[in-house]
Amino acid sequence: MSGFTFPTPDIPSLTDGPALRWGVIGTGQIAGDFVDALHAHTNQRVIAVTSRTAERGEAFATAHGVARAFTDAHAMASDPAVDVVYVATPHRQHHDGAIAAITAGTPVLIEKPIGLTPGEVRSIIDAARTHDVFAAEAMWTRYQPGFRVLAQLLTDSAFGDIVLAHADVGWQVPLDRPSRFLDPVEGGALFDMGIYSLWFTQFVIGPPVDVLATGCLRNVEGGNVDVASAALLTSANGAQATATSTILATMDGHASLVGTAGSARFVDHYVFPGRFSVTIDGQTTQWCDPAGLTGRDGLAHEAVGVATLITAGLKHSPVHSLDDSLALATTLAAVRSALTEQDTAR
């Protein structure tokens, strides 16, 4: 692999690009992490937040340096001072938050999963196109420098024809007390964690044409939630991938791909900013993130990337498109359906 060099990641500057004024819908942990990452590492500014109660919104605003608190998402999105909205509510509220922003004519970034079903995703896509408004799923990992480099390597066929990909994600969640993970509508491992592993495999091999899955469901009041799953995915050209997720244990976040000319393997948890190695002709070279951000500070890359796209006048994200989101939602639905069928057959 003599002379091999990684491509330069095509990423906008965290501090020199267009600065937009953000409104955030939601006051949970991801909303707080998003605001803190933007204020610490970028020139983006969050100026408004929406919560269901004035008290919670004002407390969040005070804690995170946000000027205004709203109790109505459409009213916040309609405020001329707000350039873009970030939807950071619980999963079941993503669709309504997205529609509130879109119908106000304000660009919107929607936390993953963008919708709980392919139907919800299509509804958001249709609304965004009807109102000619930017909308995108917040697949923040895709905006990190490492994935921009890896995307270029895949485009350049650096690994030859892709044969196999794998990704796993899991964080242990207590099952002996109520939590959103045990909600039969929006809970389970797939919506929070499995979406990353299914996204990675789609990123590498493309949307699958065949999905096989197995896993474990836990019976909760009102239905079942998936606590672990493993999916085998096959693309149109025959490439295969495995994607696993669980809330029963904490996993290392392995991700890898293998092609006819080489391979790549993440050294660090692939969901977060980190290192990966590339092996070609028996020699291995490691890529390290020059930005130096760790953990959820990497949300800064997503925000700046989206701000750059919006300022350029785009109505979609070529980094992670709405078509990508719909394909991912379709795969998620297929895996969930397979788990339900398996459970019914037992």
**Residue 231, pLDDT above cutoff 90:** yes
Residue 138 in this model has a pLDDT that exceeds 90: yes
Query: Does residue 146 sit in helix, strand or coil?
Result: helix
Closest CA to 328 of 208, 228, 234: 208
For 130, residues 6+ apart whose C-beta sits below 8 A from its C-beta are none
What are the E-state strand segments in the chain?
21-25, 45-50, 68-70, 84-87, 108-111, 135-138, 162-170, 208-220, 223-235, 240-246, 255-259, 263-266, 276-280, 283-287
- CATH topology identical between 21-141 and 144-291+321-345: no
Q: Is 129 in a helix, a strand, or coil? A: helix
**Statement: 144-291+321-345 belongs to CATH 3.30.43.10:** no
Task: Give the whole-angstrom CA distance, residue 110 versus residue 126.
Answer: 15
Domain regions of the chain by residue span: 21-141, 144-291+321-345
Q: Residue 81's pLDDT band (boundaries 50, 70, 90)?
A: very high
According to DSSP, the residues that pair with 219 across neighbouring strands are: 224
Residues with Cβ within 8 Å of residue 119, at least 6 apart in sequence: none
Q: pLDDT, tens digit, for every residue of 90-100? A: 999 999 999 99
The yes-or-no verdict on residue 1 having pLDDT over 50 is no
3 band by pLDDT with thresholds 50, 70 and 90? low
The Cα–Cα gap between 46 and 60 comes to 12
Average predicted confidence (pLDDT) for the chain: 96
In the predicted structure, residue 134 carries a pLDDT above the cut 70: yes
- pLDDT > 70 in the chain, percent: 99
CA distance 240 to 257: 10
Give the whole-angstrom CA distance, residue 99 versus residue 316: 15
The CA distances from residue 171 to 188, 221, 237, 249, 333, in Å, are 11, 22, 33, 6, 21
CATH architecture assignment, domain 21-141: 3-Layer(aba) Sandwich (3.40)
Predicted local confidence at residue 344, as pLDDT: 81
Residue 66 in this model has a pLDDT that exceeds 80: yes
Cα–Cα distance for residue pair 153/157, rounded to 1 Å = 6
Q: What is the rounded CA–CA span in Å between residue 127 and residue 218? A: 35
Half-sphere exposure of 88 (CA within 13 A, CB side): 23
